Chains A and B, each alone.
Chain A
Amino acid sequence: MRTEPAEDSTRLADWIERGARGDEAACAALFHEFYPSVVRLSLGLLNDLDDAEEVAQDTFVYALRNLGRYDARRSAFRTWLFTIALSRCRNKRRRKLLLQGPLELLAGEAPATPREVEAALERRGLRRQLWQALQALSEPMREAVVLRYLGEMRYKEVGAVLGCNPKTAESRVRLGVETLRRTLTEQGAAPEWQWSEASA
């Protein structure tokens, strides 16, 4: 998992301090450092790249405006940022469910995998079912699995973002992975070449 070397944390503290004073270069540095990871996290939770980018930008507007409130003694900057993003993803998802959920339920259709995700999966020879199974997990399990694997966080950090203790976070991740394993086994673990041929 990701570690922060000492020089990185010093550089980060400097960006945060300057960013809190309104320094554009420091804010831009923070943005470019963390924007891709926030988008990936949001994409894993929302299953829509446009929504993920919108949520990530909204997260940064809030975070950069409130940099003065960030307390490095309480949590890592990435944990703080992911907590804001998670809260916004939940709101976005609930609003979308309210608007589109009933229609999708009536139609009985599973949400489609974004084409950007499909392309990324294809490049690595991964199966589309993995993403679909991830999206089909219950909200607490999906959040934990996405934070752990797509966010590349330790259990302690996952717990801090979800507001639970690390043991609970770990058990949610384990349960999520076990559910994914069962789903993929039931669907039949087709070899990669079969999937590639089918999708071609």
Chain B
Amino acid sequence: MSRREVESQLEQLASALKTMPLSSEAAWDRVWAQMKMPRQVNRWPLALSMSLVAATFAVANVVPIRYHHAPTLRAAYLPAPVLVERTPTPLGWTAPAVSGATAAPPLRFDVAPVPRPPGS
């Protein structure tokens, strides 16, 4: 069978299908009746946007986001303050670190070096 024969058979098939009886009038009545019916409102975009809003609120309420936006919460997550006791000694005042509520290391401030007098 050649390619041309197949093409010819397909064309004949198309002509054959044109002879197929169709109830166009009944079909038109159904289509027009459906056209006259009020359109169904598509509600899924509204439902989706509501869900997105709900999800945003739910996510916004979790700690990592609140941490950045609520100062009191951020303060609560900071290391506890350290109690520093200063005791007098014969050599002067020392500031031994005494851990407070936590074992966090004490804050240390480096003393800035005093500039030497010129010529020394």
Chain A residues with CB under 8 Å of chain B are: 24, 27-28, 31-32, 35-36, 39-40, 43-44, 53, 56-57, 60-61, 64-65, 116-117, 119-121, 123-124, 126-127, 130-131, 134, 145, 149-150, 152, 177-178, 180-181, 184-185, 189
Contact = CB atoms under 8 A, between A and B. Distances in A.
26 contacts: A27-B35, A28-B32, A31-B24, A31-B28, A35-B24, A40-B20, A44-B17, A53-B22, A57-B27, A57-B34, A116-B20, A116-B21, A117-B17, A123-B16, A124-B16, A126-B9, A130-B13, A131-B13, A149-B7, A149-B10, A149-B13, A149-B14, A150-B17, A177-B10, A181-B2, A181-B5
Given A35-B24, A121-B13, A126-B16, 8 more contacts: A32-B24, A35-B27, A40-B20, A57-B34, A64-B35, A126-B9, A177-B6, A181-B6
A65 B35 contact: yes
A83 B64 CA distance: 49
Nearest to B25: A32
A107 B51 CA distance: 43
Contacts, number: 95
A126 B13 contact: yes
B3 interface: yes
